[in-house]
Amino acid sequence: MCFHISDKHPEAIVAKKDMRVYKLLENLKITRRDNLIGYSPYRNYLWWGGKLITMKEPLVVQSNPYYPKIEAGLHAYTDIHKAKREREWNGEAICEFFIPKGATYYINKEKQEVVADKMIWSGRVWKSDRWGEFKIKK
């Protein structure tokens, strides 16, 4: 997944409070130790429910005069309806995530997408018409 910088919001933002976002994951499983796991469909990255993921490197904008973008980062959707449309196309599960207070992120409101340097999976998964709750083992 590639994040395109919006002309209207070209600067990085530091989150002043936790921000709810939605991410598509596939191959959701409960491990033998009752941990919830899933994989991101584009990079096959393993996510653990309840675990804060922090990028090792800062978000880097790849300069291109026509289409500046960010490749490496934690990508998500800002709107559940956008996530639902993408899921219908690809078939993954919609999962609730949070960009925590203090994280750095870029937002593209027109595409309803965000990329951040930190993100945590709440353990909630959208099931057809409602949220399914999974207890996260800490």
CA 65 vs CA 5, 43, 62, 69: distances in Å: 11, 26, 10, 10
Amino acid at 12: A
Is 28 among the domain residues? Answer: yes
What pLDDT does 103 receive? 96
> Which pTM does this prediction carry?
0.82
d(CA 38, CA 137) in angstroms, rounded, equals 15
- Per the structure, the complete domain to which residue 91 belongs is given by 3-132
DSSP 41-96: TTT--EEETT-EEE-SS----B--SS--EE-SSEEEES-HHHHHHHHHHH-PEEEE
Is 138 among the domain residues? Answer: no
Give the number of domains in the chain: 1
Is 137 among the domain residues? Answer: no
Residues in the chain with pLDDT < 50? 137-138
